[in-house]
Amino acid sequence: MSHRPTVSIIGGGPAGLIAADLLAGHCTVHVYERGRQVGRKFLVAGDGGLNITHSDAGERLFARYLPAERMRPYLHAFGPEALRAWLEGMGIPTFVGTSGRVFPQRGIKPYAVLAAMRERLRMKGVHVHLQHHFVGFNAHARPVLEHAGGKVVVTEGLVLFALGGASWPVTGSTGDWVAPFRSIGVQVTDLAPSNCGVEIDLPDALAVHEGKPLKNIRITCGTIAVHGEATLTRTGLEGNAIYPVISAVREALREHGQAVLEIDLKPDVTEEELQRRLSGAAWKERMAALRLDRAQVALFKAFTPMQRFVDGSTLAHDVKHLQVPVHALRPIGEAISSAGGITWDELRDDLALVKHPHLYAAGEMIDWDAPTGGFLLQGAFALGHAAAMGMLKVLGGA
């Protein structure tokens, strides 16, 4: 091309960064970031170890996402192996942990991963504009940004929005983009907490167990069942056995105003074996015979009717089918991620907006959901890749 087209990316998170990298060889790329540096949420996600993707592949990978049929083509085009190869190309080798989660090679900190991405963009001549806050659109659906020196209107070229959802607002993901998008006729599902704790009416007797883990349990809500660990909190439960069922909890709360978690406190032991253990135990020795720890006993007593607990004839069954009502999710600002966003019907397959094809969206702004374990970052990177590929096709560079 005799004239390099200009592309603007609003949002410097994972989706925006990979899109900038892919576009930089073909376009003049401007990245506008609200914060003092790009990738701040990326660093927060890496606190305690940067789980960047997961080794699941094929249908097993696609099934981790909602809606799976919408996310499938993007994950197929840019899955975990492609993401790992992209990182390897920046000098960031990765390894698969015992749980299938993928991490940067031991000793490589999250900041070093982000530094490699930033250096890659610098070497490719990407223009990064920090502390530029998207505030809305002008009459021609062109983005308007505010910064210390005034306002900028992006009047030229295609624009990719990668502004995130509304979790971890301290990083700049506040969800304040929703109203401007609705103002230009784009349908946006309300943002909602995902991968978060649940609120439960806990009796005072459980307060002494706050912060204690409930290890090796199975939690079921709707059709989703998860084997893992949860932690008792001041307001309810959180942890890796809770987060994957949040989509089912959220749906039940929306439809019925309440959800129920079914907790199996002894998932590796059959009901028949528990009954055998109880058969020779004195009344006061029943909990010891079941081999429940103090936190589990306290939770079991709190949500088992007193008469049923005293009677004891159904203890073996109840230990494996404890019913715990949930009345709310924790606030979105505490959540690891958010669900909701621009509806899929508003997007073309290349992630351009149907009503405004010069605008694209990627990452957590779109209405999809996934559990923790590397799937969130993988989804964001895959959508950023797809948007960049779609823009290049329009520009004649792919």
Over residues 293-324, the pLDDT tens digits come to: 999 999 999 999 999 998 889 999 999 999 99
Convert the pLDDT of each residue in 177-211 to its tens digit: 999 999 999 999 999 999 999 999 999 989 999 99
Taking the C-alpha atoms of residue 325 and residue 338, their distance in angstroms, rounded to an integer, is 22
CA distances from 32 to 35, 146, 159 (A): 9, 10, 11
Neighbours of 288 (CB within 10 A): 12
Cα–Cα dist 226/262, whole Å: 11
Give the per-residue pLDDT at 48: 67
pLDDT for position 205: 87
Sheet strands side by side (includes 198-199):
322-326, 259-264, 213-221, 224-232, 236-238, 198-199, 328-329
Residue 75 corresponds to which tokens in the numbers above? 């994950």
The pairs formed by 149-157 with CB atoms below 8 angstroms and a separation of 24 or more are 152/32, 154/8, 154/10, 154/30, 154/32, 156/6, 156/8, 157/5, 157/6, 157/7, 157/8, 157/27, 157/358
Q: Does the pLDDT at position 2 exceed 80?
A: no
Q: How far apart are CA 186 and CA 179, in angstroms?
A: 9
Six-digit token pair at 252? 């039940």
The residue ranges of every structural domain in the chain are 6-193+337-395, 198-329
Average pLDDT in the 248-271 region?
96
Percent of the chain surpassing pLDDT 70 = 98
- What is the sign of the dihedral through the CA atoms of 390, 395, 397 and 398? positive
Interval 221-245 mean pLDDT? 96
Exposed, middle or buried: residue 305 (CB in 10 Å: 0-12, 13-18, 19+)?
exposed
Check residue 292 and give its pLDDT: 92
Kindly report the average pLDDT of the chain as a whole number: 94
pLDDT digits (tens, 9 = 90+) for 138-159: 999 999 999 998 999 999 999 9
Q: What is the pLDDT of residues 72-91, one digit of tens each?
A: 999 999 999 999 999 999 99
User: 93-112 pLDDT, tens per residue?
Assistant: 999 998 999 999 988 999 99
State the Cα angle at 42 between 147 and 170, rounded to 5°: 55
Q: Would you state the pLDDT for residue 49? A: 78
Share of the chain above pLDDT 90, in %: 88
Q: 393: which residues sit within 8 A by CB, 6+ positions away?
A: 350
Out of 3.50.50.60, 3.90.550.10, 3.40.630.40, 3.90.1150.10, the CATH code matching 6-193+337-395 is 3.50.50.60
pLDDT of residue 267: 97
Beta-bridge mates of residue 231: 213, 238
Average pLDDT of 245-270?
96
Tell me, what's the pLDDT at 1?
A: 42
- The number of beta carbons lying within 10 Å of the beta carbon of residue 313 is 10
Residues 318-344: what's their mean pLDDT? Answer: 96
Range name among 40-49, 241-250, 271-280, 314-323 with the lowest pLDDT average = 40-49
Cα distance between residue 152 and residue 142, in whole Å: 10
